[in-house]
Amino acid sequence: MKMPVPKSQTFGDKRPAAVMMPAPPDDPGQPRRVLKPDARPTPEIQAYRQTNGPLYLVRLKYNGVWLTTTGADEPTAINKLRQFYMRETAQGRADSVEVTP
């Protein structure tokens, strides 16, 4: 079953989101990864904001499966999803490298 394309980027809350700095990563023990310069782009990410509060749901489609995560703000949620994609999928691992702090 194909998911319908949303008409807006929110679940229904039309108020502007508060401006917030990204939160630190949830697991600082995990190595950060970045895409290589010649890598394929990350699959298209869709972001949605919860109706009552600052909870963001982001998802992307990889090989017919939706990868989904949530975060306190949109940049944090997108970063968590990109890191998951680069650590846990074969294509993400092939297109990225670990970065040492």
Extract the tokens encoding 15. 């108020």
Report yes or no: 81 and 67 within 8 Å, Cβ to Cβ.
Answer: yes
Q: Is residue 17, in this structure, part of any structural domain at all? A: no
Which has more confidence, 84 or 53?
84
Q: Is residue 8, in this structure, part of any structural domain at all? A: no
Q: Is residue 23, in this structure, part of any structural domain at all? A: no
Q: Is 98 helix (H, G, I), strand (E, B) or coil?
A: strand
Our count of domains for the chain comes to 1
pLDDT of the residue at 95: 93
Q: Is residue 90, in this structure, part of any structural domain at all? A: yes
pLDDT in tens, 54-93: 788 888 999 988 898 888 888 888 889 999 999 999 999 9
Q: How far is CA 87 from CA 28, 33, 74, in A?
A: 14, 7, 20
Determine the Cα angle at 36 with ends 33 and 40, to 5°: 110
pLDDT of 7 strictly over 70: no
Q: Is 37 helix (H, G, I), strand (E, B) or coil?
A: coil
pLDDT of the residue at 30: 77
pLDDT of 40 strictly over 90: no
Q: Is residue 56, in this structure, part of any structural domain at all? A: yes
Determine the Cα angle at 70 with ends 28 and 10, to 5°: 145
Q: Is residue 18, in this structure, part of any structural domain at all? A: no
- Work out the mean pLDDT of the chain and round it to a whole number: 79
pLDDT of 52 strictly over 70: no
DSSP 59-75: EEEETTEEEEEEESSHH
> Which of 5-9, 19-23, 38-42 has the highest average model confidence (pLDDT)?
38-42
Q: Is residue 25, in this structure, part of any structural domain at all? A: no
Structural domain harbouring 79: 35-99
